[in-house]
Every structure is written in structure tokens, then in C-alpha cells.
């Protein structure tokens, strides 16, 4: 039995907001391109390990590139503080209850950075597998971090997010021995939604898998 919500009355408003967001995202992209900054938008569930991946990425890049981090959160500056401690120039966006970043928020944060100083921009979106998928920010790549404890059914249940990303980090693989996570079933769901998606199984606890992710990132940075 299926019951759909009848939210059609909201569609024109939603379309206007999304069109305005697309326009501003395109302007953000231009600013990044003019400054020679490669930007990635990192999305995930709460607790999938976005900030830990950013910390490990900064360590893996080893100071070869200048990195800015923009951290979106409903509350606190815990993530921005961690990114700053790991060596990035960090800007915090407190969304004040909003469940995703949008291009307006990113524009405001970009204005706080002297962009030509940087090579790489890591944007940490709000922890949410639904809303951030609908709002392009103007970054060059959208990255999703899945984590093993979330379960192997997530691609099937959050198709919009899995469809729209350019790379997938599968985090917390050190927990695979303790969790009934069927990697084949997970990968089959990913394959159905996004057949050419590049994936990086990693563990922030052990460091496993980060070399491949860093190689991919550096290759894109050098092309940018």
C-alpha cells in the first residue's frame, strides 16, 4: 500500500528556488575557475565520517596544495575547528536549522576567502542524505561518503543522492567484520543508479584505501 503526499501546491515555488540556486551555483563555479580552485562538495549521512575524511585527505596531501574548507552545520563549529587543526583555512556556515547548504550560503562563505591563494576547496555539506542532493553549489565534483554501519540498503533507499554524485567513498570498512553488510548488494544498488561511479573503500581508523582516493584527487587537481 502506498500513500503519496500531495505537495503539488508547492511545486512552482520550489522550482523558482531551484532555478535561482542553479544560477548562483554557476556564478560560484566561475569564481572558483577564475581563481584556479578545484572545488568538491562532500555529502553524507550524519556521522558517516565527512570531517574524518577531510582530516585524512589533508594529511594525505601532505602540504602539497593549499586547501580551504567550508563546513556547513546546523549548529556548532566542531567540524570547522577540526578542519583548521588539520591544516585547512576553515570557514564555518551555521545554517541555523537549514538541512542543506545552497549556492547562496556558499557564495557568502567564498567571500570570506582570498580564493586565488588556494588550490583545493573542500565543502562539507550538512549531514543529510536527501536535501543536499537537490542543491548544486557550483563545485566541480559532488562526493558522497557512505559508511558501512549505515547498512547495505542505502543506495536503494536514497536513490537521488547516489544518482547525482561523481565519486563515492565507502568509509569505516574496518567495521566490516562486525556488521552484516553485504558489499555485493550495496555495489549492485550503486551500479543500478550510477553505473560508472568511481568508488574508494576506506577506513579513517586504519588509513586503508586513502592512497587511491588521494591519487584520484591529485589527478583532478592537476588538471584544474
The residues binding its own copies (CB under 8 A) are 1-7, 13, 45-47, 73-79, 91-99, 102, 104-105, 108-109, 112, 126-131, 134, 147, 149-151, 153-154, 156-160, 172, 174-175, 178-179
CA dihedral 139, 224, 187, 159 (to 10 degrees): 20
Question: Of 75 and 223, which has the nearer Cβ to its own copies?
Answer: 75
Nearest approach, Cβ of residue 121 and its own copies (Å): 14
Question: Of 29 and 94, which has the nearer Cβ to its own copies?
Answer: 94
Nearest approach, Cβ of residue 64 and its own copies (Å): 25
Question: Of 99 and 224, which has the nearer Cβ to its own copies?
Answer: 99
Report the alpha-carbon distance of residue 31 to residue 93 in Å, rounded: 19
Q: Kindly report the backbone phi and psi dihedral angles of residue 5, in degrees, each rounded to the nearest multiple of 5, phi listed first.
A: -75, 140
Nearest approach, Cβ of residue 223 and its own copies (Å): 29
Question: Of 103 and 217, which has the nearer Cβ to its own copies?
Answer: 103
Question: Of 29 and 107, which has the nearer Cβ to its own copies?
Answer: 107
Using a 10 angstrom Cβ sphere, with 0-12 exposed, 13-18 middle and 19 or more buried, the burial of residue 180 is exposed
Nearest approach, Cβ of residue 87 and its own copies (Å): 17
Nearest approach, Cβ of residue 21 and its own copies (Å): 12
Residue 97, classed as helix, strand or coil, is coil
Q: Is the distance from CB of 188 to CB of 219 less than 8 angstroms?
A: no
Nearest approach, Cβ of residue 138 and its own copies (Å): 15
Question: Of 56 and 154, which has the nearer Cβ to its own copies?
Answer: 154
Nearest one of 28, 97, 110, 99 to 69, comparing CA atoms: 110
Using a 10 angstrom Cβ sphere, with 0-12 exposed, 13-18 middle and 19 or more buried, the burial of residue 7 is exposed
Report the alpha-carbon distance of residue 154 to residue 182 in Å, rounded: 12
Specify the DSSP element, H or E, that contains 197. none
Report the alpha-carbon distance of residue 199 to residue 145 in Å, rounded: 10
Amino acid at each position: 500500500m502506498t500513500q503519496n503526499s500531495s505537495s503539488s501546491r508547492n511545486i512552482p515555488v520550489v522550482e523558482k528556488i531551484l532555478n535561482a540556486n542553479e544560477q548562483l551555483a554557476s556564478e560560484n563555479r566561475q569564481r572558483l575557475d577564475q581563481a584556479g580552485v578545484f572545488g568538491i562538495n562532500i555529502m553524507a549521512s550524519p556521522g558517516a565520517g565527512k570531517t574524518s575524511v577531510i582530516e585524512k585527505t589533508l594529511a594525505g596531501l601532505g602540504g602539497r596544495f593549499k586547501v580551504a574548507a567550508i563546513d556547513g552545520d546546523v549548529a556548532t563549529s566542531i567540524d570547522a575547528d577540526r578542519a583548521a587543526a588539520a591544516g585547512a583555512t576553515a570557514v564555518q556556515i551555521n545554517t541555523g536549522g537549514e538541512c542543506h547548504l545552497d549556492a547562496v550560503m556558499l557564495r557568502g562563505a567564498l567571500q570570506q576567502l582570498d580564493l586565488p591563494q588556494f588550490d583545493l576547496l573542500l565543502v562539507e555539506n550538512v549531514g543529510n542524505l536527501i536535501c543536499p542532493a537537490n542543491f548544486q553549489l557550483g563545485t566541480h565534483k559532488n562526493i558522497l561518503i557512505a559508511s558501512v554501519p549505515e547498512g547495505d540498503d542505502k543506495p536503494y533507499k536514497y536513490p537521488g543522492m547516489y544518482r547525482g554524485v561523481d565519486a563515492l567513498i565507502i568509509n569505516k570498512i574496518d567495521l566490516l567484520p562486525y556488521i552484516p553488510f553485504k558489499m555485493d548488494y550495496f555495489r549492485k544498488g550503486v551500479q543500478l543508479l550510477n553505473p560508472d561511479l568511481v568508488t574508494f573503500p576506506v577506513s579513517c581508523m586504519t588509513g586503508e584505501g586513502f592512497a587511491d582516493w588521494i591519487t584520484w584527487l591529485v589527478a583532478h587537481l592537476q588538471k584544474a
